Amino acid sequence: MTVFSLVIINKAGGLIYNKTFHEGGLNKISTNDYLVLAGTFHGVHAITARLNPIKPVAQPPAPGSNELPGRPEPSSGLEVMETENFRMQCFNTLTGTKFLLFTETTQTNVDVTIKRIYDLYADYVMKNPFYSLEMPIRCDIFDRKLLSYIREINNR
Amino acid sequence: MSSLPSSASTGKDSGLRVPSNGKTIYHRPLNRTKTSELSQASFAFLFSEMVAYAQKRVKGIQELEHRLNVQGHSIGIKLLDLLLYREPVRTQLRPQNVVALLHFIKQNVWQHLFGRQADRLEKSTDAEKPDEYMIIDNEPLVNQYISVPREMSQLNCAAFVAGVVEGVCDGADFPARVTAHTVGEGDMWPGKTVFLVKFRSEVVEREAFLAKS
């Protein structure tokens, strides 16, 4: 059970955070390649959100009420990608920030882990007066809390 | 806040807004909010905006800390009155010497603001500085979510709390200058903060005079 690395992408497709927790699980790539990866993933995600084999059906309003028919749930786009060597899970927040978590293929409860990372982000990044939105994340406390949380998972 | 009427009718041409039933914030009993708690998340966002506001148009870190200090000062003055009012009648006395005042701050003020007492109280060991005392908080609540960028490492946003302490001291007629300093203690308490209370010379003189008589 190992979490390899975390990537956070802002809503414009820019890389704002990347951290490797376990050496040797994935090939090392340069910062430049991380930027390309973030941008490419952002594009691929936008395409997958449109790809939908089934025509979305709008929820009919409850009989007797005057409500307008609701919009169909938009498709969420790429969520999980599995390969022989790793598993990648994507969590897309309501505001369009994406969290990518690379783990071992046998990793369980990744969605719980990724929600917890989102919690940490909401606490230690968004409540920090010195963080400017959509910019790279440089917050000591966020780093510290994230590392200790992932270490706890990786040592389990 | 739920008792505030949602539609407040305005006075004719004055800028003062009075709710239609005539009940203002001054009509509410002072003890009603004694045990109520606030959401820490909303406080964190509010404080974050206060720091961002203070950061606008400042030239340096000292000026920023001074602005935070000023924001806290008026709170401290009012808090002293409120907390003394809430004491049982028999002990409703303003602290009359430095040690009593600092204990009052460490215990009552901290308990009211942060739900726990401050961690330690110390007197400066330097014999040349009898006017300096230290209130130590291992993990200030206001700094819980704040990571100060490296280029501003001098800054400690608890300057706001220092302002509150200064307000309490000034209100109790022990004029002092209070500053907040980060003294990280390894991995255990990386945000440990010392509030340095420097009383004015006349306070120390008065204290010495009272001790003699």
- Please name the residue of chain A whose CA is at the shortest distance from the CA of residue B48: A129
Q: Chain A contact for B48, CB < 8 A?
A: yes
pLDDT along chain B (213 residues), means of 10: 46 68 80 83 95 91 95 95 88 88 94 93 86 94 93 92 96 95 86 94 91 81
Token pair for residue A46?
Answer: 């936008």
Please indicate if any CB of chain A lies within 8 Å of the CB of B30: no
Domain carrying residue B162: 38-209
* Per-residue pLDDT, B34: 77
Q: Give domain status of residue B31, yes or no.
A: no
Contact A127 B45 (CB under 8 A): yes
Tokens of B114: 């942060």
- Whether A123 sits inside 8 A of B145 (CB atoms) is yes
- B17 assigned to some structural domain: no
Domain contains A62: no
Residue with tokens 């998340």, as numbered in its chain: B41
Confidence of residue A15 (pLDDT cuts 50, 70, 90): very high
pLDDT value of residue B1? 44
Domain range spanning residue A37? 3-51+72-154
Residue pairs between chains A and B whose CB atoms are closer than 8 Å = 38
Q: What is the mean pLDDT of residues A106-126?
A: 94
Q: Tell me the shortest Cα–Cα distance from A64 to chain B, in angstroms.
A: 32
Q: How many domains does chain A have?
A: 1
CA dist B133 and B164 (Å) reads: 16
Q: What is the CATH number of the domain that holds B203?
A: 3.30.1380.20
Query: Within a domain: residue A66?
Result: no
Is B152 an 8 Å CB contact of chain A?
yes
**Chain B contact probe: residue of A17, A124, A141 with most B CBs at under 10 A:** A141
**CB-based contact, A79 to chain B, within 8 Å:** no
SS3 of A16-79: the string is: EEEEECCCCCCCCCCHHHHHHHHHHHHHHHHHHHHCCCCCCCCCCCCCCCCCCCCCCCCCCCCC
| Under 8 Å between Cβ of A7 and A90 | no
ipTM over 0.90: no
Whether residue A58 is contained in a domain is answered as no
Confidence of residue A126 (pLDDT cuts 50, 70, 90): very high
CATH code, A94: 3.30.450.70
Q: What is the pTM of this model?
A: 0.83
Is residue A86 a part of any domain in this protein?
Answer: yes
pLDDT of residue A145: 95
Q: Least CB-CB distance to A140: which of B55, B147, B152?
A: B147
Residue B91 lies in a domain: yes
| Domains contained in chain B, number | 1
End-to-end CA distance of chain A: 8
Q: Residue B13 falls within a domain, yes or no? A: no
Taking only the tens place, the pLDDT of each residue in B137-167 is 999 999 999 999 988 888 999 999 999 999 9
Residue A66: which pLDDT band, with cuts at 50, 70 and 90?
Answer: confident
Radius of gyration, alpha carbons of chain A: 18
| Partner residue opposite B149 with nearest CB, options A124, A127, A130 | A130
